[in-house]
Structure 1
């Protein structure tokens, strides 16, 4: 039986767990620091906190971190990696991922997402429902592309950045690390590290 542990009993975690089952994982359980107050996440059990997961890694075939905050997700990935965890990679069967694209372990690609040829998706990324990442894009670790957001060809996104719901990024744009692109923004110029941009065209706030 294939057993998957998910750290983070969140709403996002429910979508990860549902996708995992669709991808053939037969046993999916959560770990969350709200345990034991929280014992279930939807239909799935919460069996312990983060420390408990570290002690029980050998009981699972793989782990995923289902924490929406990119910075925290990156921290948890580093802790689990140092402990020797094996990370799953979930590609929903209703997603379209080019055979010439690469998606690193720890990442999830949800239903309706499109990843085109020679796109490179780093560790622990979230490609959410109905988003698109076009040819030759590079997303570093723990990037989140929200539902309905679109990256044109050759876009580069730095570690831990968040592309908001419905945002669009013009071809060949460079977005730095730790950037927040607001919902519905249209990014037509490069964005430096650690800032928030919103609007049409997107501007620094």
Structure 2
């Protein structure tokens, strides 16, 4: 297995992941992008993924913010995915983090929290004790999950949103910026406001199941 790290997706999110890895003096070999718009990003070469030989032997982080695209790409690569944790994040030794997940500066993961695969725990987000965050979730900057919250696969918790203790959020939901969630949220729901109110149920095009 190649010890150097390859990033997949030359996006704005990728820039933040570069900063995460550099905070730990980790070596980034290249950024892979199927439609490269520039030859480099932050001084790191950007190459088409097709030009990377033996991709499945590389250590990779998917640096794409969209949850469903991140999921799709993860299914095409049979590799050991890296985990990126910023040096200024606070992560309990009694927490768990799945492969492909990134934890940004100022984020807090407290004891008993469990984060799935290919998640984004963004800048300043708080994941309290005994929370369970499923795969492909994005917890946005300054969003807070109180103790014992469950977040379903593929959901997006908007910037500054708050979820009270013990709430269960369904899969592939969208929680709006600044929303205050005080009761369980069904699958595929769009929720906004204080207190949070379901304004839409999205069409399940992927036939997702728990």
TM over 0.5: yes
Q: 2:173 aligns with which of 163, 173, 179?
A: 179
Moved over 6 A (4+): none
- Work out the CA distance in 2 between the residues paired with 1:200 and 1:28: 45
Pair 1:12-2:13 in alignment: yes
CA deviation after TM superposition for structure 1 residue 44, in Å: 1.7
What is the distance in 2 between the residues matched to 1:27 and 1:131? 25
1:73 aligned to 2:70?
Answer: yes
Give the gaps of 5 or more residues in structure 1: none
Q: Is the 8 A contact 1:144 1:163 kept in 2?
A: yes
2:33 corresponding residue in structure 1: 32
Q: Which residues in structure 2 correspond to 1:126-165 (within 5 Å)?
A: 126-165=120-159
Consecutive unaligned residues in structure 2, runs of 5 or more: 200-210
Asked if the contact 2:7/2:28 (under 8 Å) is kept, the reply is no
Q: Tell me the CA shift for residue 48 of structure 1.
A: 1.5
Match of 1:195 in 2: 189
1:77-121 deviation line (CA, Å, top 9, x unaligned): 1211xxx31111111110011110000110011110000000000
Deviation at 1:26, TM superposition (A): 1.9
CA offset at residue 185 of structure 1? Answer: 0.4
State the Cα distance separating 1:188 from its structure 2 match. 0.5
The structure with the largest helix share of the pair is 1
In the alignment, the residues of structure 2 paired with residue 170 and residue 53 of structure 1 have an alpha-carbon distance, to the nearest angstrom, of 45
TM-score, structure 1 as length reference = 0.92
- Kindly tell me: are residues 203 and 40 of structure 1, through their superposed partners in 2, closer, same or farther at Cα, counting changes over 3 Å? same
- Once the two structures are superposed, the pairs formed by residues 84-163 of structure 1 within 5 Å of their partners are 84-163=78-157
Quote the Cα distance in structure 1 between the aligned partners of 2:27 and 2:16. 15
**How far 1:187 sits from its partner (Å)?**
0.5
TM-score normalised by length of structure 2: 0.90
Q: CA, structure 1 residues 17+28, in 2 after alignment: closer, same or farther (shift >3 Å)?
A: farther
C-alpha spacing 1:52/1:193, structure 2 compared with 1 (3 Å): farther
Deviation at 1:54, TM superposition (A): 6.8
Residue 166 of structure 1 and its aligned partner are, at CA, apart by 0.4
Q: Distance in 2 between matches of 1:20 and 1:95?
A: 12
Structure 2 residue aligned with 1:56? 55
Aligned length: 198
Distance, in Å, in 1 between the alignment partners of 2:73 and 2:97 is 19
